[in-house]
Amino acid sequence: MSRTEIRITGFGGQGVVLSGYIIGRACAIQAGKHATMIQSFGPEARGSACSTMLAVSDTEVLYPYIGRPDVFVAMSTEGYDKYADELKDDGTLIYEQNLVHPTLKEGQPSFGVPSTRLAEQLGRAIVQNIVMLGFVAAVTKMVTHAEMRGAVEASVPPGTEALNLAAFDAGWDYYEQEYGDKKGEAAAAASSGA
Amino acid sequence: MSEVIERAEALAEEHPVAPYLRMDRIPHIWCPTCGIGTVVKCFVTALEESKVDLDKTSIVSGIGCTGRVAGYMNLDAFHSTHGRAIPFATGLKLGRPELFVTVFSGDGDLSGIGGNHFIHAARRNMDILVVLVNNFIYGMTGGQNAPTTPLGAKSSTMPFGNFERPFNLPHLAATCGAVYVARWTSLHIRRLTKSFKEAIGRKGFRFIEVIAPCSTLYARLNKLGTGFNLMQFYHDSTEIRHGADTRDVGIDYQDEIICGKFVDEQRPTFLDMMHDQYRRTLGDKYVPMPQEGGHIHE
Amino acid sequence: MKADPAGVLTGAHYLDGDFACGEGAMAAGCRFTAGYPITPSTEVVERISRRFPMMGGTFVQMEDELASMAAVVGASWTGTKSFTVTSGPGFSLMMENIGLAVMMETPCVVVNVQRGGPSTGLPTMTGQADMMQARWGSHGDYELIAMSPQSPQEAFDLTIDAFNLAELYRVPVLFMMDECVGHMTEKVVIPPADEIEIVPRKLTKSKPGDFEPYRANGQMVPEFARAGDGYRFHTTGLTHDERGYPEMSAECQDKLVRRLMDKINGNADKIVRFEEEDTDGADVVVLSYGITARVAREGIDLAREKGVKVGVIRLIVVWPFPEKRIRELAGTVKAIVVPEINYGQMVLEVERCAAGRCASVCVPHGGGGVHDPSDICDAIMGAVK
């Protein structure tokens, strides 16, 4: 099956839905795949565990919800605790390493990124989600670097493109530095051995 | 025999208000001595003297005795649902901003079931004229208690006397933001006509309450005599107090009725405020709806 | 005629169903919207309120849904295409003035992004349990048109069709989305304005003195005059004659209400719209609509893998119901299986049309989610046993 399921979670206000939107847009518009995004949120506008689901496929997405995601992106402890169990046993875990302290399953590829700290280094903690997005794009390679970057540029508020693209690059570069080339496999192997 | 000839002559001459009415719908449904017809005559006279473009004038009513006014006026006329004349009129005004839109309905329709729309249209300063004929009772359905029934007055659902405090409608309208507020009785023909003319010349949410007799129900249930007796009462018990504090113009049972123009001020209407806000924030990008409406045609 | 480019956001977008519906309305020429906030429909009017000022449209947030619907009917009488958007509780409040729109023959569109009910129910979660309310919710006898989109792309495309049908038949068209489609984001392609066909309000060419607002002239749909064009017409929610004057008689009632119903029923062949696939020689046909039609196809694939011949009917126009086709199919299949996110609403229509010649199988879901495709497969397998 060509279908890839993704869940992104965090607390409200972290930009969870925008992250899902940009990935979906990159897949559906830039890369010409089928991508269905569904958001779920509590009645509270801020703070509660917020989550978005994406189903990406080369063929039409019929069933819109996801069952066991192939990729799980956790930006908060509460979100991680709520959804960690549904991740496929061999699914990829991506997490904010200063906020989420995962219990890793054997053989599970996992990738941590200090996205909040990297965003703060850019001067705006609010772009944490875009740093994470750059990192996710680099880990998964589900679309090309240019496609995802194009979706970021087209989706953020006018006037904030430069900051957001810098955030995207920071996330992507962090992956290249920490896990790039052989390092990625090494990290996966190391984590699976933990 | 001479009487017959006189009648024939009278018929040959058209009544001065006939062009404003749907004469093919006359006789109307209102009872003898009902005050609504008089209010309509005053409104028609005001329309005539104000020289408004009748082709651009719409009238909207809700349901009830006064709710039938729209049906007798030779204008674009809308007999809408119970209580919803004001939002219906809001749609007409916003759909074609050049229209002059009047709502004509009763106390139960506008302040009972439609009370929420009344206060919000006043708050927005929606550019409509609201004429509320208040006969203190639900007439068409048989004399039930209204939000305007004075304390102690009897109605068919308060057979032992009303114990609910009624609305003071001019005060309600004024506190919600109406820019023109007046009250008259159907006895005050000249003053009411003048008030209609004044209100027609203003912009924004304009409210005129007209106290009118319902001899069939209100007077009968309260043993107040005939329509003539009620008019006599208006004559003896009304006081004209322009500029009165609207807190003081509530109506007690068979007590003094304070009439006059209570509020007459200018404030930007809903559309004025909308245009200003969009022009300020959007500049040249703002495209207002044309005066003739958002109708899209080839 | 072609759409006004001012309202058409041509291009490939990534939009949710609510936004796509709003874009469809603007492309269709809607320039007046009255609404009251209610989850999960509010994004439609948020989209409208952001874009209307740039195209000569006016949005007003009313005090409640009673007012919203009344304002939409009022505005439509100026010739300005108008719509409102709501969900279950607000839909209930709109019913009286939907009836007024039927009686006054006022073109308008009402969007209901369905959530779980009854009452406040599940504000943020999906449902399809207002389908019978769409048909019968206002009092009295009447017919209207209701549609159901299965994707954001259809939320755009079918909203334009809804406005066009409203104009053609002078009737409210109810746009029965569900929360799942409303809050689902997918690719939506908006074509150039000159590729979008819209139906303008058909204004009378009669002179004011000769015009009667409800004289149908042998057509089922009378000609329209706008408020403010000098016709000085009268219209009412009361039973009325061709002049629009109230007439309280059984004869007038029969003439009027019969025409109101006939203009839809008599044109049902033109209005009814559904997708049909693999029904020739099918053992079972699955009939569904909205999001459930997509989910059902997964269940159908599972059943086909087990060797069952399964046909598909997907309703696009839900009301009027495709009676003729369902009657035909009932004579050729063992069962018609109807999954829907309610405890059995459209299945009652299937049952009525099948009239015992095949089984009608309800696959209920109470709302708050969509069916598990395996439940639909199980229902299909059960039907062929």
Which chain C residues contact residue B29 at CB under 8 A?
Answer: none
Which chain B residues contact residue C49 at CB under 8 A?
Answer: none
Q: Where are the beta strands (DSSP E) in B245-286?
A: 257-264
Q: Which class for B279: exposed (0-12), middle (13-18), buried (19 or more C-beta within 10 A)?
A: middle
Q: Are residues C369 and C154 in contact, defined by beta-carbon separation less than 8 angstroms?
A: no
Cα C184–chain centre separation: 19
Q: Reduced to 3 states, what is the DSSP secondary structure of residue C67? A: helix
Q: Is residue B56 part of a domain?
A: yes
Q: In what order do the strands lie in the sheet with B76-79?
A: B238-240, B257-264, B180-185, B206-211, B129-134, B100-106, B57-61, B76-79, C234-236
Identity of the residue numbered B105: S
Work out the minimum CA distance from C70 to partner chain A, whole angstroms.
30
pLDDT at C36: 98
Which chain B residues contact residue C60 at CB under 8 A?
Answer: 90, 94, 270
What's the domain range around B130?
15-285
Answer yes or no: same fold for C5-195 and C275-384: yes
pLDDT 10s digits, C113-160: 999 999 999 999 999 999 999 999 999 999 999 999 999 999 999 999
Q: Is residue B167 part of a domain?
A: yes
- Please state, in angstroms and rounded to a whole number, the distance separating the CA atoms of residues B70 and C132: 35
Write the residue in A29, A61, A62 that is nearest to C12 by C-beta: A29
CA distances in angstroms from C272 to C157, C165, C263, C332, listed in the order given:
16, 11, 13, 21
Q: Which is nearest to A137 in space by CA: A71, A77, A83, A76?
A: A71
pLDDT at B108: 97
Which chain A residues contact residue C185 at CB under 8 A?
Answer: 21, 24, 36-39
The interface predicted TM-score (ipTM) is: 0.97
For A63-78, give one letter per residue: b (16+ CB within 10 A) or e.
bbbbeebbbbbbbbbb
Q: Above 80 in pLDDT, residue C104?
A: yes
Q: Which is nearest to C358 in space by CA: C269, C279, C300?
A: C279
pLDDT 10s digits, A62-118: 999 999 999 999 999 999 999 999 999 999 999 999 999 999 888 899 999 999 999
Domain boundaries, chain C: 5-195, 275-384
Work out the minimum CA distance from B89 to partner chain C, whole angstroms.
6
Q: Given a contact as 3+ CB pairs under 8 Å, which chains touch B? A: C
In this structure, the number of other CB atoms found within 10 A of the CB of residue C87 comes to 28
Q: Are residues C15 and C152 in contact, defined by beta-carbon separation less than 8 angstroms?
A: yes
Write the residue in C31, C66, C71 that is nearest to B91 by C-beta: C71
For chain A, the 3-state helix, strand and coil shares in percent, each to the nearest 5, are: 45, 20, 35
Check B96 against C79: CB less than 8 A apart: yes
Q: Beta partners for C197?
A: C2
pLDDT at B1: 41
Check A37 against C184: CB less than 8 A apart: yes
Q: Which token pair is B142? A: 């048989």
pLDDT 10s digits, B239-297: 999 999 999 999 999 999 999 999 999 999 999 999 999 999 999 999 999 999 999 88
Mean pLDDT, chain C, as a whole number?
97
CATH of the domain at B123: 3.40.50.970
- Judged by phi (left if over 0) then psi (alpha if -120 to 50, else beta), residue A189 lies in alpha
What CATH class has C275-384? Answer: alpha beta
Show which residues on chain C lie within 8 Å of chain A, measured between beta carbons: 12-14, 123-124, 180, 183-187, 291, 294-295, 297-298, 369-370, 373
Q: Which is nearest to B264 in space by CA: B150, B163, B187, B181?
A: B181
Check B270 against C236: CB less than 8 A apart: no
Cα C135–chain centre separation: 10
- Please state, in angstroms and rounded to a whole number, the distance separating the CA atoms of residues C324 and C274: 12
Identity of the residue numbered B32: P
Rounded mean pLDDT, C88-113: 98
Question: Which distant-in-sequence residues (6+ apart) come within 8 Å of C167 by Cβ?
Answer: C81, C107, C199, C200, C201, C202
Identity of the residue numbered A22: I
Whether chain C has a CB inside 8 Å of the CB on A62: the answer is: yes
Whether chain C has a CB inside 8 Å of the CB on A123: the answer is: no
Q: Which token pair is B218? A: 């209100």
Are chains B and A in contact at 3+ CB pairs closer than 8 Å? Answer: no
Q: Where are the beta strands (DSSP E) in B220-264?
A: 238-240, 257-264
Question: Which distant-in-sequence residues (6+ apart) come within 8 Å of B4 by Cβ?
Answer: none
Q: Which is nearest to C226 in space by CA: B279, B215, B265, B96?
A: B96
All domains of chain A in start order, with CATH: 4-193 (3.40.920.10)
- Please state, in angstroms and rounded to a whole number, the distance separating the CA atoms of residues A173 and A169: 6
Alpha helices in B33-103 (DSSP H): 36-50, 69-72, 85-95
pLDDT by 10s per residue, chain A, length 194: 489 999 999 988 889 999 999 999 999 999 999 999 998 755 554 557 789 999 999 999 999 999 999 999 999 999 999 999 999 999 999 999 999 999 988 889 999 999 999 999 999 999 999 999 999 999 999 999 999 999 999 999 999 999 999 999 999 999 999 998 655 554 554 444 33
pLDDT at B6: 55
Fold of C5-195: Rossmann fold (3.40.50)
pLDDT at A185: 55
- Please state, in angstroms and rounded to a whole number, the distance separating the CA atoms of residues A181 and A189: 14
- Please state, in angstroms and rounded to a whole number, the distance separating the CA atoms of residues C339 and C74: 38
- Please state, in angstroms and rounded to a whole number, the distance separating the CA atoms of residues B20 and B44: 7
Q: Reduced to 3 states, what is the DSSP secondary structure of residue B206? A: strand
Percent of chain C predicted with pLDDT > 70: 100
pLDDT at B12: 64
Work out the minimum CA distance from A29 to partner chain C, whole angstroms.
7
Whether chain C has a CB inside 8 Å of the CB on A35: the answer is: yes
Q: Is residue B295 part of a domain?
A: no
- Name which of C15, C38, C120, C186 to mutate to probe chain A: the one with the most chain A Cβ atoms within 10 A of its Cβ: C186
pLDDT 10s digits, C310-354: 999 999 999 999 999 999 999 999 999 999 999 999 999 999 999
- Whose tokens are 């395996």? That residue is C374
Whether chain C has a CB inside 8 Å of the CB on B203: the answer is: no
Q: Is residue B4 part of a domain?
A: no
- Whose tokens are 């399921």? That residue is A5
Are chains A and C in contact at 3+ CB pairs closer than 8 Å? Answer: yes
pLDDT at C191: 98
Work out the minimum CA distance from A47 to partner chain C, whole angstroms.
17
Work out the minimum CA distance from C28 to partner chain B, whole angstroms.
10
Work out the minimum CA distance from C181 to partner chain B, whole angstroms.
29
B vs C, Cβ pairs < 8 A, gives 184
pLDDT at A182: 52
Whether chain B has a CB inside 8 Å of the CB on C381: the answer is: no
- Please state, in angstroms and rounded to a whole number, the distance separating the CA atoms of residues C327 and C321: 11
Rounded mean pLDDT, C290-316: 98
Positions in chain B short of pLDDT 50 = 1-5
A vs C, Cβ pairs < 8 A, gives 53
DSSP code, position C11? E
Work out the minimum CA distance from A63 to partner chain C, whole angstroms.
5
Number of domains in chain B: 1
Whether chain C has a CB inside 8 Å of the CB on B37: the answer is: no
Check A21 against C14: CB less than 8 A apart: yes
pLDDT at B100: 98
Q: Which token pair is C174? A: 């109810």
